[in-house]
A and B are shown apart, each in its own frame.
Chain A
Amino acid sequence: MEIITVKDLTKTFTYSVKEKGLRGSLRNLFARQTRQKTAVSGISFAVDQGEAVGLLGPNGAGKTTTLKMLSGILYPTSGEVKVAGYVPWERQREYQRRFAIVMGQKTQLWPDLPALDTFELNRRIYQIDAAEYQRTLDELTSLLDVRSLLQVQVRRLSLGERMKMELIAALLHRPEILYLDEPTIGLDILSQRSIREFLHYYNQQTKTTILLTSHYTADIEAICPRSIIINHGSVVFDGPLAEVSEVFGHKKLVSLKARRDLDAGELAGFGTVRRLDHNTALLEVDRDGLQGCLQRLFGALPVVDLDVKDIPIEEGIAYFYRKAGVGAQ
């Protein structure tokens, strides 16, 4: 069942520009010029209930803006959105009770109080039944392993601990939809991993719909079976992240090490040389002809070590990041 439907969603910001120098300032004092910046231009996608979808895109691609429109923080310039039957920016209480948003760069916790106090405030705001609240809180604190930190002032917590508290604060009312904007930004590897594992588990267990933006591919790989890449404000890829590098055709990477220094000429026959450094080289080879290629390699060169890899997902993503938006402008 479709829970999020986004159609031709567009958001344009107006900002004023100033000419350089004092003369520009003076002119600006009386006549101001404004420009428009399109952050999101006509994107459309749909998310099914219980899905976990990753939103990827370079900086300024409009991922966060999209999430903010979905959560009703921003009004769109044009386009339609329905989430669980509601139009987010109408900010109906019923809708607001059904979703939660966590942003890596913003906080809802009161910094000078223990996180437990913010939780209590949320309990009152969302009118959560006391017994139910206690059950949810127990479950979340033990899953995230922060029970001993509930009474500690938030500003004394580490970044990772704070993010876990943000997650708890967001999930206390058991939202059906969870928006996550860079939830692991700036965290150490261990915190990143435990938050990833938690989100994956939570999505599996509760069938809460998750829409996640992140710059860490590992986040997306761990949590989201499906990814949408946005660039220049529009959707350029939609599918499992693992398939993102298939834009390069069915290629493999072969890295090899020989007993002597290699030269480009003798490698050219096997595939595209990506890197060559003394006795090591990286070749791009067609997957179909891989077996024959490897046999010929072993025959022709004094190979010491050889490794066959997929083209890294990052390369596929980078390709889409560079690609101009389809249908943009």
Chain B
Amino acid sequence: MKPAGYCYIFGMGMQKAMAYRADFFLSLASCIFPIIMQAYLWTALYAAGAADTNGYTYEQMILYTLLAGITSRIVATGFENDVAQDIKDGGLNKYLVKPVNYGSYCFAQFAGSKAAAVGFLLAVTAAVLGGASLLLGIPFEPVRLALYALSLALALVLNFSIFFTIALLGFWLTEIRQLFGTISIVIMVISGGVFPLDIFGPAAAAASAVLPFGYTTQFCVNIVNGQLTMGEIGLGFAAQLFWIIVFTLAHRVLWWQGAKRYTAVGG
């Protein structure tokens, strides 16, 4: 299919996201509560005085919570349900007979469905950063902001690849859709979407550096809040690219195996 076709799918995704307006507003609203909860948690823990916070000051922790809450919303997926549904009820057939790459199709639609929300959330991020620099006097370097934006774009692609790979497990797990709710919460947390994982000690920090998940959220946030040096940021980008390639290969293989199995069983 030509790029124009994918643009069209992008537009379709955008329209689909807006068709469910209550969903649209509510899921934006739903990122507020965890942030409130985290803020109170940290207030209480810092007040208790013994929080082992691995070098985060109270302000930095709150800022992390805010930015991570928003960032994890920006990269959040949801298309995995549609993919698993297509696999389960035979909807995949219509893609198998068309000259379209299913992965690209899903990505175009995913990107389209995110467009409006991402625009809105970026505005919120700007407000948070502006507020933080005014209230807390934390300066944000323009370079870091630009790198943050770039890392977000890659994080979106990476998170898409991760969830697309998981969704393709639906070829083997008949009721994987039931698990998506929990899977996405678990992945959000181990991506650093709730708290920075390095507070759980060096082992957790090392694990989050080695695993792909942190590169969808924690890495992006740590670019803006100055936790990472430029060298570390460079490495992080490399890791993002590396994991994108790994997961793209992984879902290629799964797709190939799964589609073969799918057509063999007859859908």
Contact = CB atoms under 8 A, between A and B. Distances in A.
A binds B: yes
Contacts of A30: 21
Interface string A24-45: 1110111010000000000000
A299 B139 CA distance: 109
B21 A22 contact: no
A278 interface: no
A156 interface: no
A18 B11 CA distance: 15
Contacts of B18: 25-26, 28-29
B250 to A, nearest CB: 30
A21 B19 CA distance: 11
Contacts of A29: 18, 21, 24
A47 B45 CA distance: 73
B24 A22 contact: no
B17 to A, nearest CB: 8
Interface residues of A, number: 10
Contacts of B19: 18, 25, 28
A271 to B, nearest CB: 49
Contacts of A22: 11, 14-15
A46 B18 CA distance: 47
Nearest to B112: A22
Chain B at the A interface: mostly helix, strand, loop or mixed?
helix
A288 to B, nearest CB: 56
Contacts of A18: 19
A32 B21 contact: yes
A43 B247 CA distance: 59
Interface string B8-46: 000100110011010010000000000000000000000
Contacts of B24: 29
Contacts of A25: 14-15, 18-19
B21 A28 contact: yes
A111 to B, nearest CB: 11
A25 B18 CA distance: 6
A30 B21 CA distance: 8
A26 B14 CA distance: 10
A186 to B, nearest CB: 15
B196 to A, nearest CB: 35
Contacts of A32: 21
A21 B12 CA distance: 9
A214 B133 CA distance: 71
Interface string A5-26: 0000000000000100110111
Contacts of A21: 15
A113 to B, nearest CB: 15
A25 B15 CA distance: 6
A24 B15 CA distance: 9
B6 to A, nearest CB: 16
Nearest to A26: B18
A32 B20 CA distance: 11
A25 B115 CA distance: 13
Nearest to B21: A29
A26 B15 CA distance: 8
A167 B18 CA distance: 43
A26 B24 CA distance: 12
Contacts of B15: 21-22, 24-25
A15 to B, nearest CB: 13
Interface of B: 11, 14-15, 18-19, 21, 24
Q: What are the 6 closest A-B residue pairs judged by CB atoms, nearest first?
A: A25-B18, A25-B15, A29-B21, A29-B18, A22-B15, A22-B11
Given A18-B19, A25-B14, A28-B18, 10 more contacts: A22-B14, A25-B15, A25-B18, A25-B19, A26-B18, A28-B19, A29-B21, A29-B24, A30-B21, A32-B21
9 contacts: A18-B19, A21-B15, A22-B11, A25-B14, A25-B19, A26-B18, A28-B18, A28-B21, A29-B18
